[in-house]
Amino acid sequence: MSTDSKLPSPTPIAIPPTRGGGGVTLSVHESGTGPAVVFCHGFPDLAYAWRHQVAATAAAGYRAIAPDQRGYGASSCPSEVEAYGLTQLTGDLVGLLDRLEIERAVFVGHDWGGFVVWAMPVLHPDRVAGVAALCTPYMPFPSVEIHAALVDGDIERQYVAWFQLPGVAEAAMDSKVETIFSRIFRGGVPTEVVMRAAFASGKLNMNPFLDPETLPVMGEPIGTPSDMQHYCDVYGRTGFRGGINWYRNIDRNAREHSGVGNEPLTLPCLMLTAEWDPALSPALAESMKERCSDLEMHMVEKAGHWAQQEHPEIVTGRLLDWLPRVYGQ
């Protein structure tokens, strides 16, 4: 579904080097006043994904902040692969709070942004009032080896493993921006339908980015034609390299930050799963109950991976119901 929600115009904010992050300029959308809520997008995405939630959260009396994270959109895109680890990504958020003179915030993440916001209370607990995530549970990121094993080492059939090849994925994807978004930015369909398509060749294919033109069209388009055009325009300019480099730090993140996904969390946590998400199924979140002592969990029914855009009222409603309990309102 779609609404007329819009993000405010972005402001470039220079983030000084701090706690391993910074040294970049982030393009930041901000609206409202009150307790801070920072929205962190995933891949391949932008702050634009949170347009519905930013508008509603600001209207509800919060300071809603949504950056294009490093490597995305109008934000800085460093050339070094090593510039995209959890140290840098969480450090950017600390630096952003510093620049905005905010002591603590609730961090809300989706997809890769979910892994970043779950890392915040482990690496920077003094800056986090609560964590909310959509689709991405609090867990260690599976290693590249695990991803490759899913396809018996044929890494072209598994996008996370394929992304590890230097320069290969972006070279293949940058000329196919419109095709990629027209195929993947779609609403949810039953998981069994997705799995039948994934095994259509007789072998499991978990790489929608290699040959997107061969993907079956499933589900209704997300958003409006102008929403789709926005993504195509931005990625047509930037390409995919910045976001892909996040994946090239998975094993390094595990080595340097073994506590992320494992250490118990005692702060308020909200987990929203999506019933038909083929990438991050609700089952992955079940073990969170053992590690998060103040956890609220809900499933968005009949939702795919892009649930905050597919069912914005449901996602926003759950968030706005939970936020007053975090901030004692």
Number of Cβ within a 10 Å radius of residue 3? 14
User: What is the spatial distance between Cα 110 and Cα 134, in angstroms, rounded to a whole number?
Assistant: 5
For residues 243 and 174, is the Cβ–Cβ distance under 8 A? Answer: no
Sheet strands side by side (includes 105-110):
11-15, 24-31, 63-68, 36-40, 105-110, 128-134, 269-274, 295-300
- From the number of C-beta atoms within 10 Å of its C-beta (0-12, 13-18, 19+), residue 60 rates as middle
Give, in order, the Cα–Cα distances in Å from 314 to each of 71, 76, 275: 29, 33, 13
User: What is the spatial distance between Cα 326 and Cα 104, in angstroms, rounded to a whole number?
Assistant: 12
Give, in order, the Cα–Cα distances in Å from 7 to each of 32, 67, 324: 12, 11, 23
Q: Which of the following is catalytic: 111, 124, 227, 257?
A: 111
- 305 is an active site residue: yes
**Token pair belonging to 144:** 């590249």
Q: Which of the following is catalytic: 29, 41, 147, 305?
A: 305
Give, in order, the Cα–Cα distances in Å from 246 to each of 8, 72, 284, 308: 26, 11, 21, 22
The length of the chain is 329
**Token pair belonging to 183:** 């195929």
- 298 is an active site residue: no
User: What is the spatial distance between Cα 42 and Cα 40, in angstroms, rounded to a whole number?
Assistant: 7
**Catalytic residue annotation:** 111, 305
